[in-house]
Amino acid sequence: MQPYYTSGMRRLWAVALLAVSVASLSAARLSAGEPHVIVAFGDSLTAGLGVRPEESYPSRLEARLRAAGYDYRVVNAGVSGDTTAGGLRRVDWALKSRPEIVIVALGANDGLRGQDLKSVRSNLDVIVARFQKAGAHVLLAGMEMPPNYGARYTTDFRAIFADVARKRGATLMPFLLDGVAGNPRLNQPDGIHPTAEGYEAVSDRLWPYLQPLLRR
């Protein structure tokens, strides 16, 4: 007598087989000794606008990781001009790399465009939560607005990052461009994007926040 399978049973078998295949693939990758993945998720400050790819802060971090004996690959997921809303739409794409750590450095373009801060906060909160739900540690890099945006806006904008990090238990770097912003020697003529030397300084400043999240 031939076994009888309903369409629902066939679907269950297909899902089960897919799960086994994914698990087998993950185990194979781990046994092959592939490096852990860090995704640098941001805008032009992450993409490295105006400098060579190897001079961006994600590339600098990867070089430093290797020099320190850590087996990590850093994926540069920076998109020039991106906002927190745009970043939210890219989370699923970034998760395809199966990151162990995600550096979220978004919000600068929202602030410069005077976006509603409730929306910025909500977008960042969901971005961090979705990466964490997928099992990634999140390092949230704060941003600052120039004083000409007004004391209230700049203060409320700065508070977003600390609030989201506190709520989600994420690691917080208070300001991505700490020690770099406002220094003509470390910035390109636009006064916004770091030079190659500036990105090296960004990498150096990020390191103490990133290192506790790493594993050998």
Residues acting as catalytic residues? 44, 190, 193
CA dihedral of residues 28, 30, 33, 34 (deg, nearest 10): 100
In this structure, what token pair is assigned to residue 73?
A: 């690959």
Strands 137-141 and 72-78: unpaired
- Residue holding tokens 């990498």? 203
Contact yes or no for 83/112 (Cβ under 8 A): no
Contact yes or no for 173/141 (Cβ under 8 A): yes
If DSSP codes are grouped into helix, strand and coil, which group holds residue 73?
A: strand
State the Cα–Cα distance between residues 36 and 156, nearest whole angstrom.
Answer: 36
- Residue holding tokens 């700049």? 154
CA distances from 78 to 30, 33, 74, 193, 204 (A): 26, 26, 12, 13, 19
